[in-house]
Structure 1
Amino acid sequence: MKGAAGRALILGVCGLGLAGCDTLSSMNPFNKNDTYKPEIVANAPAEEIYNDGLGRVQKGDFEGAAKKFSSLDKQYPYSEWARKGLIMEAYATYEGGLYEESITASRRYLQSYPNTSDAAYAQYLMASSYYDQIPDITRDQEKSERAILALQELIQRYPNSEYVADAKKKIQVASDQLAGKELEVGRFYLQKRNYAGAINRFRTVVARYQTTRHVEEALERLTEAYMAMGIVSEAQTAAAVLGHNFPDSPWYKDAYALLTKGGVEPREDSQSWISKAFRGVPQVGQKTG
């Protein structure tokens, strides 16, 4: 609305003895002549808010509990209650399946309180939030990778933590998942006779995920791929390493049969990358001392 038309409308509203302007003025809650007074709501005691959050946790209202714990930081910033509320917010959101929210709260805790007694627990909650989102091997495994990184950081930063033992188990499971994904893609390439692409995938399993259950199949698949490419010495080494580490494996029987069909037997070349990759590495079920 511009120019004279706009001014005319304003004058029209306020015309007729300024009655209209008085009406508009009376609607202003901050008019000096008005009796309006802003209501000031006092903060509830921090302990009361915290206990309310705990009560909601016990009832299974994790989202409601998280909101209560989060409010402590807003109402009592930089206090001990704010710290306790933040770790409990991370816990409540994790228990409620709000994993991204738990990751955010855990990360905030670690940034704000890295040297406190609950820091290891915050790291564990963050890692577990990634871990619990790991999908099946047919889907992207970013969450598996993030879980492993967070769990490894827990072990490195808090080696005496009570969560270390569980972290190691979770790392094994997540690694197994990543190895399974590599195998799935490798098998696809092998089926399509893209032997170089298949070998790269199986090599990743052998080099990075040797303590997973998938390493046996990866070695047998390497035997297949190398034989198909005519690289017999590497095929022999893959089968020999498989037989040495997993003599009772059905995958070794398949690899052995494939080699003998081609007129050769398993024989390890100590200079092969396969042989070097397995030196001094404990296998699945083998004690590390």
Structure 2
Amino acid sequence: MNSLKKQILFLALLLILNGCGIFSSPPTVPLEKKSLNSLMQEGMESFKNTNFDKAIEIFQYVKDTYPFSPEALVAQLKLADAFYYKHDYENAFLSYQQFIKLHPKHEQAPYALYQAGMCYFHQIPSIDRDQTPTKNALEMFKRLIKEHPTSRYAKRALTKIKICREKLAAHEFYVGRFYYRTGRYKSALLRFRNLIENYCELPISRKAQAYLERCKSKLKKKEYLAQPSF
């Protein structure tokens, strides 16, 4: 028997065995047929293996089906984490927020607050774009420090606050310079003044001060030229 016939027979045998179910996957057991303990084990294993879609499905089911169980509390936080590591920051933030609302005094509340801030932090845009995510991240990190000042996450939040403030100051400077270059000196002056008043500890405030003086000079000159001559 030549090799081609052997290959054909081998493939035919595989098809027969597969049809008999020898190589077929075991039937999927519905979530409602599984115990709470096995659900949590499967959810944790899925999360560990970065199968976040499966983890989300299981933790959501546990949270909805066993809302008053201790496992539901764990599932709520792991659900948020699964969304977070999937880079679905909108749903992650909502899930962390729900955990914080339901369990404000829980030992994991500082972590949930920090992660909620990080959901916005990861969406911080370049300085030429609207800085709403930066402001939201800053708000969450400040709240964490206020409510849990001794938490280890409060120390991390301080670092993130510094970065957020630097980004907001850079945005103000960028907009101020744009106004200055386009001859809108009054608008530029207001931006530079705001930067100096709110971010005086940052090095960029010295640059803003120099531009502020230039704006004043330009406005005085403009006002002088607008005066009627006699």
- Normalised TM-score (structure 1): 0.63
State how far apart, in whole Å, the 2-side matches of 1:212 and 1:132 are.
Answer: 22
Amino acid at match of 1:52: E
Match of residue 105, structure 1, among 92, 95, 114: 95
Q: State the identity %.
A: 27
Q: Secondary structure at the match of 1:163?
A: helix
Q: 1:211 to 1:61 in 2, by over 3 A?
A: farther
2:135 aligned with 1:141, yes or no? Answer: no
- Matched residue, 1:185: 175
User: What aligned pairs does 1:36-51 form with structure 2 within 5 A after superposition?
Assistant: 42-51=32-41
Task: After TM superposition, give the deviation of residue 43 of structure 1 in Å.
Answer: 4.4
- Matched residue, 1:67: 57
Structure 2, unpaired ranges of 5+? 1-29, 222-230
Alpha-carbon displacement from aligned partner over 1:130-182 (angstroms, at most 9, x marks no partner)? 11110111111110000000110000001111111111111111111111111
State how far apart, in whole Å, the 2-side matches of 1:52 and 1:157 are.
Answer: 34
Q: 1:203 to 1:41 in 2, by over 3 A?
A: closer
2:74 aligned with 1:114, yes or no? Answer: no
Q: 1:191 to 1:180 in 2, by over 3 A?
A: same
Q: 1:215 to 1:43 in 2, by over 3 A?
A: farther
Amino acid at match of 2:53: E
User: What aligned pairs does 1:21-32 form with structure 2 within 5 A after superposition?
Assistant: none
Contact 2:128 2:175 in 1 (8 A): no
State how far apart, in whole Å, the 2-side matches of 1:133 and 1:41 are.
Answer: 34
Q: 1:67 to 1:213 in 2, by over 3 A?
A: farther
Amino acid at match of 2:93: I
Match of residue 72, structure 2, among 82, 85, 108: 82
State how far apart, in whole Å, the 2-side matches of 1:138 and 1:108 are.
Answer: 32
Q: 1:41 to 1:196 in 2, by over 3 A?
A: closer
Q: 1:103 to 1:186 in 2, by over 3 A?
A: same
Higher alpha-carbon Rg: 1
Q: 1:169 to 1:47 in 2, by over 3 A?
A: same
Contact 1:176 1:213 in 2 (8 A): no
State how far apart, in whole Å, the 1-side matches of 2:176 and 2:131 are.
Answer: 15
Structure 1, unpaired ranges of 5+? 1-39, 232-289
Q: Secondary structure at the match of 2:177?
A: helix
Alpha-carbon displacement from aligned partner over 1:195-217 (angstroms, at most 9, x marks no partner)? 11001101111111223342122
Alpha-carbon displacement from aligned partner over 1:34-86 (angstroms, at most 9, x marks no partner)? xxxxxx98542222212212111221122321222111111211111111100
Match of residue 221, structure 1, among 195, 204, 211: 211
Deviates more, 1:106-115 or 1:51-60: 51-60
State how far apart, in whole Å, the 1-side matches of 2:152 and 2:82 are.
Answer: 20
State how far apart, in whole Å, the 1-side matches of 2:178 and 2:189 are.
Answer: 11
- Normalised TM-score (structure 2): 0.79
State how far apart, in whole Å, the 2-side matches of 1:77 and 1:98 are.
Answer: 23
